[in-house]
């Protein structure tokens, strides 16, 4: 039996022509996730279903490549980090809407596109780190970061970093642009130093006494505490993760997620793969690897919950938050947050 035209194009684009049997079930995944973080899921999916996963890792330019490939693209599944990138992929016209009772049941409404263009597969929470020695409280609201009691005590990376733009966009979604601008001014007034570095450096600065609290993603603490470098382990051990939430709401989360590519040559396998990513087994597997949270609260997550406890994701739609990112970025410049 001859290869179908779409199959042949897919195989050629992935460098697989002649290497894969014509009848082999397969799915082609374009991913911006680090290979080591998602490879265990690929292997588990193949073991469970017999469907081979052909993966293309593209840290940058993934969406542009799929668009440039057009109808000849071999991509079946697009896996991206950050809800904004998933929303942008849908806006670019490189995804297709999926109707799946399994995905509707597995992924909470605020963690998926309303039309089925993409679905969250793991969660990470943007939280407040605090000195174990100098900060007594164990919970905080994001709004409280602007409280004058923290003057000279806050560290954070650039306000224009995507992680912070997402948090600020969530604040815009919840409180509106003008109240968010005032909040940003308050946070800026409380900074111990100019926004710089990354989330790991926030923990480092807390250990050094530069600041008492800082903003970072949950998983960095897990990674730091298990880093081979003793110095970085010390950064992680110096901080605790405060129970962080919006006033009257839940924790701000961002996601890794997946979408079916618009011209997926193996659509059935693509949907099957995303459904598998939201299954109990895969959720536990992928979350534990990188100290992230499952999208399903019913799935126990040993590594992450042992470090930080369970989280209650905020009810705001990630699609709505993503659409306020431009406003959030403009507000960062408007108040001179990074100056």
60 by DSSP, 3-state: which?
A: coil
* Residue 278 neighbours by CB under 8 Å, 6+ apart: 102, 103, 106, 107, 119, 121, 295, 296
**pTM, entire model:** 0.85
Q: Does 62 have pLDDT greater than 70? A: yes
Instruction: Please compute the mean of the pLDDT values over residues 132-137 and round it to a whole number.
Output: 97
pLDDT higher at 236 or 34: 236
Indicate the domain borders of the chain: 5-123+255-305, 124-251+319-334
Write down the mean pLDDT value for the chain.
Answer: 90
CA 226 to chain centroid, in Å, comes to 21
What top-level class would CATH report for the domain 124-251+319-334? Answer: alpha beta
Report pLDDT for 168.
98
Per cent of the chain over pLDDT 70 is 92
Instruction: Please compute the mean of the pLDDT values over residues 98-116 and round it to a whole number.
Output: 96
pLDDT in tens, 193-211: 999 999 999 999 999 999 9
The CATH fold of domain 5-123+255-305? D-Maltodextrin-Binding Protein; domain 2 (3.40.190)
Instruction: Please compute the mean of the pLDDT values over residues 35-62 and round it to a whole number.
Output: 92
pLDDT higher at 131 or 285: 131
- Judged on CB neighbours under 10 Å (0-12, 13-18, 19+), 61 is exposed
Report pLDDT for 298.
76
* Residue 124 neighbours by CB under 8 Å, 6+ apart: 217, 218, 219, 253, 254, 255, 256, 292, 293
Residue 129 φ/ψ, nearest 5 degrees: -85, 150
Q: Do 13 and 73 contact (CB within 8 A), yes or no? A: yes
Instruction: Please compute the mean of the pLDDT values over residues 178-188 and round it to a whole number.
Output: 98
Report pLDDT for 210.
98
pLDDT in tens, 224-247: 999 999 999 999 999 999 999 999
Report pLDDT for 16.
42
Report pLDDT for 7.
35
Report pLDDT for 5.
38
| Stretch among 35-49, 126-140, 193-207, 284-298 having the lowest mean pLDDT | 284-298
Report pLDDT for 14.
44
């Amino acid at each position: 039996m001859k290869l179908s035209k779409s199959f042949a194009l897919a195989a050629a684009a992935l460098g697989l022509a002649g290497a894969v049997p014509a009848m082999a079930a397969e799915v082609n995944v374009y991913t911006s996730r680090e290979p080591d973080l998602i490879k265990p899921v690929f292997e588990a999916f193949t073991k469970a279903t017999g469907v081979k996963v052909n993966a293309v890792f593209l840290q940058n330019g993934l969406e542009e490549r799929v668009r440039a490939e057009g109808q000849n693209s071999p991509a079946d599944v697009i896996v991206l980090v950050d809800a904004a990138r998933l929303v942008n992929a849908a806006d670019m016209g490189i995804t297709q809407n999926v109707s799946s009772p399994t995905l509707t049941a597995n992924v909470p409404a605020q963690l998926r596109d309303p039309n089925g263009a993409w679905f969250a597969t793991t969660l990470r929470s943007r939280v407040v780190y605090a000195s174990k020695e100098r900060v007594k409280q164990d919970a905080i609201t994001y709004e409280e970061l602007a409280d004058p009691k923290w003057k000279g005590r806050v560290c954070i990376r650039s306000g224009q970093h995507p992680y912070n733009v997402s948090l600020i966009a969530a604040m815009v979604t919840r409180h509106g642009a003008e109240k968010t601008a005032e909040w940003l001014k308050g946070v800026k007034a409380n900074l111990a130093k100019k926004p710089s570095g990354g989330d790991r450096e926030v923990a480092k600065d807390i250990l050094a006494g530069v600041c008492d609290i800082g903003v970072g993603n949950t998983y960095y603490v897990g990674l730091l505490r298990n880093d081979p470098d003793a110095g970085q382990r010390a950064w992680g051990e110096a901080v605790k993760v405060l129970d962080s939430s919006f006033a009257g709401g839940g924790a701000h989360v961002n996601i890794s997620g997946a979408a079916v590519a618009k011209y997926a040559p193996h659509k059935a396998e693509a949907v099957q793969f995303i459904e598998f990513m939201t299954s109990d087994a895969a959720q536990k597997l992928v979350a534990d690897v990188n100290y992230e949270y499952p999208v399903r609260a019913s799935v126990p997550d040993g590594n992450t919950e042992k470090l930080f406890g369970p989280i209650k994701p905020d009810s705001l739609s990630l699609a709505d938050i993503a659409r306020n990112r431009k406003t959030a970025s403009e507000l960062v410049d408007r108040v001179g947050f990074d100056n």
